[in-house]
Amino acid sequence: MPKPIPLPRIRYRVVGQDDYMLNIDVTEGGHFVIDAGDYTSHQPTAGTLTRPQAEELAALIEQLGPPREHPAPAGASGFVAELTVGDGPTVRHYRFWEGALDDEPDIRNLVRALEVLG
């Protein structure tokens, strides 16, 4: 049996317009829950990471720079997101306007990998 890929807990949250929200939680054991919706109700999607998915996420986490914030510019409409990697003393927290992702490839790459899990 292959050795599991060590992953920290990952939480990604987006709050957008028209009651849109996206929550993605990945546990240290590789289980994930994706809860997305708007003004309608949707059942959360749950599953377990495949080995390639876990390896990709681990590699992308290794590439993350230090925690930082990118607030939305004044008057910008769009989505504000939070990415939290780890727990306790090793936690890294990133808060950003999704429009800033083009300038932050390390965060963007991890977010895009999380968004395609389901």
15, two tokens: 């709050």
Where is average pLDDT lowest: 27-36, 68-77, 93-102? 68-77
**pLDDT (tens digit per residue) in 60-85:** 999 999 998 888 888 776 688 999 99
* pLDDT the model gives residue 33: 95
* pLDDT the model gives residue 2: 66
Q: Which domains does the chain have, with CATH numbers?
A: 10-115 (3.30.1560.10)
0.95 cut: is pTM over it?
A: no
What secondary structure letter does DSSP report for 101?
G
- Greater pLDDT, 23 or 98: 23
Closest CA to 26 of 3, 10, 14: 10
